[in-house]
Homo-oligomer: A and B are copies of this chain.
Amino acid sequence: MIEEKSLYKTAKDLNVAQIDSSNTVFHRSPVNNVRLGKLNIRGKTAKTPLFMPVATRGTVRALTPSQLKEIGFEMILSNTYHLHERPGEEVIDKLGGLHKFMNWDGLILTDSGGYQVFSLSSHRKITDEGVFFRSVLDGKEIYLTPEKVLHIQKKLNTNIAIFLDECPEYPCNARREEESLIRTLKFAERSIKVERNPGQLFFGVVQGGMNFKLRQECAQALLSLGVDGLAIGGLSMGEDSSLTREVLAATLEVIPEDKPRYLMGAGSDILTYIKMGIDMFDSVFPTRLARHASAFLYNGERINISNKRFKEDASPLDEGCDCYACRNFSRAYIRHLFLCDEILGKTLLSIHNLTVLFKTVNALNS
């Protein structure tokens, strides 16, 4: 499909120092064949499979870092585009990097802004050079290039930096799938050459729409560039979940066992994807739904705690849960908080939903 084989330059061709692969260790569980692993980065460790709570602007909404640690999280995700926009990477750098700025001593992965290329598509223009955004905050022009997003992530001093990519809309035609893939790979070639902080890992983003072959070519091209891990983007865009699984399976076929695989933005069907071989997840779902009164149960159901049937319900959100919310508060109380629009309601449900996700994933990796 891709004519220009010159895209497939290797790390060797590009004269790039590769990261020591001892950063990441994976094996298959003898019990259930699930991939179990450890990300070891700059003396910090996170067990995989793992779910990353989303701290878009340097805070997981409605929660303190202490509350996140109490749940057990070892790694969170933040966003390069949004932090560049406000407060700016220079400010964060002066204050000692993102870990210190937000008081998070676990690992941090930063998304590149590639997703904003998609989600803010009415506010941006993309070329082979980079992406122009019109800030929705103040109309200011923001110009991101593959190099610049990595410079920003260097200043943020996060543990895993993601390359700038182009995520095509879904559905789109074959030409768009290929065009965005070629651009993603051109961006990746420039990205791999950028200087990084010691021990910072570089992940490329696999695009290629719903075309299995393009997906595989993209993954192989990124691997040949010497990326430390692969982020799989452009899925869960509204396509049938069976198609998501098929595209994912085809992609995973070409990724060696020693490379971490991060499925971007998947907030549901996580156990299925873990069994398929995915190590890392992130999603705003658990916290966003929490702020809208929706509580996760361990059986996979969700309840809206504002419902009148919980008015006098003395039981916790989920009987089997030992999170701070379930140890100390009834459904009736949390309902009351939501009816009164009290912040504590959002905090308690966020703690609970993240706990459900954490424990569900953690049951496999411990």
Contact residue among B59, B65, B94 (Cβ-Cβ distance under 8 Å from A342): B59
Which residue of chain B has the shortest Cβ distance to A70 in the bound complex?
B66
CB–CB A339/B87 < 8 A = yes
Contact residue among B62, B95, B336, B346 (Cβ-Cβ distance under 8 Å from A330): B95
A 323-335 binary contact with B (CB < 8 Å = 1; else 0): 0100011101101
Copies in the complex: 2
With A103-B329, A328-B103: A342-B312 Cβ-Cβ less than 8 Å: no
B residues near A348, Cβ cutoff 8 Å: 64
B residues near A330, Cβ cutoff 8 Å: 95, 101
CB–CB A57/B340 < 8 A = yes
CB–CB B62/A343 < 8 A = yes
C-alpha spacing A330/B57, complex, angstroms: 15
Which residue of chain B has the shortest Cβ distance to A57 in the bound complex?
B340
CB–CB B58/A336 < 8 A = yes
B residues near A332, Cβ cutoff 8 Å: 87, 91, 95, 101
Contact residue among B94, B312, B342, B343 (Cβ-Cβ distance under 8 Å from A91): B312
Q: Flag whether A289 is at the interface (Cβ < 8 A).
A: no
C-alpha spacing A103/B314, complex, angstroms: 12
B residues near A57, Cβ cutoff 8 Å: 336, 340, 342
C-alpha spacing A346/B61, complex, angstroms: 11
Which residue of chain B has the shortest Cβ distance to A291 in the bound complex?
B343
CB–CB B343/A64 < 8 A = no
Q: Flag whether A337 is at the interface (Cβ < 8 A).
A: yes
Q: Flag whether A102 is at the interface (Cβ < 8 A).
A: yes
Which residue of chain B has the shortest Cβ distance to A90 in the bound complex?
B312
* Cβ of A355 to closest chain B Cβ, rounded Å: 15
C-alpha spacing A142/B343, complex, angstroms: 26
C-alpha spacing A61/B329, complex, angstroms: 16
Which residue of chain B has the shortest Cβ distance to A87 in the bound complex?
B336
CB–CB A343/B347 < 8 A = yes
Q: Flag whether A63 is at the interface (Cβ < 8 A).
A: yes
Question: Which of A62, A87, A101, A330: most chain B Cβ within 10 A?
Answer: A87
CB–CB A63/B95 < 8 A = no
B residues near A44, Cβ cutoff 8 Å: none
* Cβ of A338 to closest chain B Cβ, rounded Å: 11
A 188-206 binary contact with B (CB < 8 Å = 1; else 0): 0000000000000000000
C-alpha spacing A62/B350, complex, angstroms: 13
CB–CB B94/A328 < 8 A = no
Task: Sort A-B residue pairs by CB-CB distance and give the 8 closest, nearest first.
Answer: A103-B328, A62-B343, A87-B336, A59-B344, A57-B340, A59-B342, A95-B314, A94-B312
- 11 A-B contact pairs sorted by A residue (CB < 8 Å): A57-B336, A57-B340, A59-B342, A61-B344, A62-B343, A64-B348, A66-B324, A86-B340, A91-B312, A95-B330, A103-B329
